[in-house]
Amino acid sequence: MRIALDARTIYRTQRRGTGKNLIDLYRALAQARPDWEVVAYHRQFGVVDGVLPTGWVQPRCIEMPGDRIRAWDRWRLPAAAWRDKADLLHCPANHCPQWMPVDTVVTLHDLIPLDMPDNYPPDEVQSFRRSVQTACRRAAGIVCPSQYTRRRLIDDFHADGSRITVNPWPADSAAAPVPADMWAPVLRRYNVARPFVLHFGAADPRKNTAGVLEAWSRLPRHLLTQWKLLVVGLDPVTLERMTGYAAVRRLSGSVVLHGFADEADVPTLLSAAEMLAFPSLSEGYGLPILDAWATHTPVLTSNTTSLPEVADDAALTVDPYDAEAIAFGLQVLMEDTSLRARLVAQGRRRLARYSWADTAERFAQVMERAAGVAQPASVAA
Mean pLDDT per 10-residue interval, the chain, length 381 residues: 94 78 95 96 71 88 75 91 97 94 97 95 94 97 98 97 96 95 97 97 94 97 96 95 92 94 95 98 96 98 98 97 98 98 98 96 97 66 62
99-116: burial string, b at 16+ Cβ within 10 Å, e else: ebebbbbbbbbbbbbbee
3-state secondary structure of 15: coil
How much is the pLDDT for 18? 81
Angle, helices 236-248 vs 209-217, to 10°: value is: 20
CATH code matching the domain that covers 2-170+355-371, chosen among 3.30.428.10, 3.40.50.300, 3.40.50.10490, 3.40.50.2000:
3.40.50.2000
| Length of the chain in terms of residues written | 381
How much is the pLDDT for 70? 80
**Rounded to an integer, what distance in angstroms lies between the CA atom of residue 204 and that of residue 4?**
30
Q: What angle do CA 28, 33, 39 make, to 5 degrees?
A: 85
Q: What angle do CA 61, 77, 161 make, to 5 degrees?
A: 130
Of 87, 90, 75, 9, the residue nearest 42 (C-alpha)? 9
Q: Where are the domains of the chain?
A: 2-170+355-371, 180-351
pTM of this prediction? 0.91
How much is the pLDDT for 376? 56
CATH topology for the 180-351 domain: Rossmann fold (3.40.50)
Burial classification of residue 165, based on how many CB atoms lie within 10 Å of its CB (0-12 exposed, 13-18 middle, 19 or more buried): buried
How much is the pLDDT for 255? 97
Judge whether 2-170+355-371 and 180-351 match in fold. yes
Q: What angle do CA 95, 35, 22 make, to 5 degrees?
A: 30
**Rounded to an integer, what distance in angstroms lies between the CA atom of residue 319 and that of residue 2?**
45
366, 167 in Cβ contact below 8 A?
yes
* E-strand stretches of the chain: 2-6, 37-42, 57-61, 88-91, 104-107, 141-144, 164-166, 196-200, 228-232, 255-257, 275-278, 299-302, 316-318
H-assigned helices in 77-166? 77-83, 112-115, 122-138, 147-157
144, 284 in Cβ contact below 8 A?
yes
Burial classification of residue 338, based on how many CB atoms lie within 10 Å of its CB (0-12 exposed, 13-18 middle, 19 or more buried): exposed
